[in-house]
Amino acid sequence: LIVFDQDHRYVYANRTYAEICGLPLSAIVGQRVVDVLPELYEEQIASRLARAFAGERSVYELSIGERYYTVRYEPTEVDGSVKLVVVALTDITEERQAAQASSRLAAIVTSSTDAIIGKDLDGIITSWNGGAEKIFGFTAAEMVGNSILGLIPADRRAEEDRILSKIRRGECVDPFDTLRKTKDGGLIDVLVTSSPIKD
């Protein structure tokens, strides 16, 4: 947390901010930003502070080293004019890393030539990748929201009951060879593996 006055001087900074800057508090509080963070001041802070003192709130993301922060500028009015600007930095590194990991996993699933199909505990399809489209001939638009039973021959429906029963217990289903139906009505040999996805 930081508070600036109209001269772009630090009126207040907490210890967390000092740690982020790698400086003691005594080298920050009472100093002008341009003297503490000259490059960042010229690139980002000066223009944002100017807009904040004109009454504009703003939010943006900033990276410092390997950490990511959301930065909020909050103008504070006294007697109808902005006298101070409060700036709050929130560390979002873990959220950013989780989002990047999620994006990587999604890219792996999307680009896989294997059919990777997500379904809920009732057997309703929730996701359908490009591999599934190539193997079965159905598009995601045709399959998402429909039952997985549409792919299973009538004489093999008991397999799905066993799969869902194990998945509901949080167990993985060992790979097994079976048959599945394609869009043109043909049967293909497949190796099926099912695993629970836990929240």
With a CB cutoff of 8 Å and minimum separation 6, the contacts of 158 are: none
- Give the pLDDT confidence score for residue 54 in this predicted structure: 93
57, 67, 69, 150, 170 from 88: Cα distances, Å: 12, 15, 9, 53, 42
- Give the pLDDT confidence score for residue 65 in this predicted structure: 80
- List the one residue out of 5, 140, 28 whose CA is nearest residue 83: 5
- Give the pLDDT confidence score for residue 63 in this predicted structure: 84
- Give the pLDDT confidence score for residue 186 in this predicted structure: 96
- Give the pLDDT confidence score for residue 77 in this predicted structure: 85
Task: Give dist(CA 62, CA 33) in Å, integer.
Answer: 16
pLDDT < 50: residue spans in the chain: none
- Give the pLDDT confidence score for residue 192 in this predicted structure: 95
- Give the pLDDT confidence score for residue 156 in this predicted structure: 95
Beta strands at 2-5 and 10-13: parallel, antiparallel or unpaired: antiparallel
- Give the pLDDT confidence score for residue 109 in this predicted structure: 86
pLDDT of 156-181, one tens digit each?
Answer: 999 999 999 999 998 999 999 999 99
- Give the pLDDT confidence score for residue 146 in this predicted structure: 97
pTM for the whole thing? 0.57
- Give the pLDDT confidence score for residue 34 in this predicted structure: 94
- Give the pLDDT confidence score for residue 106 in this predicted structure: 85
Q: Where is 16: in which H helix or E strand?
A: helix 15-21
- Give the pLDDT confidence score for residue 190 in this predicted structure: 97
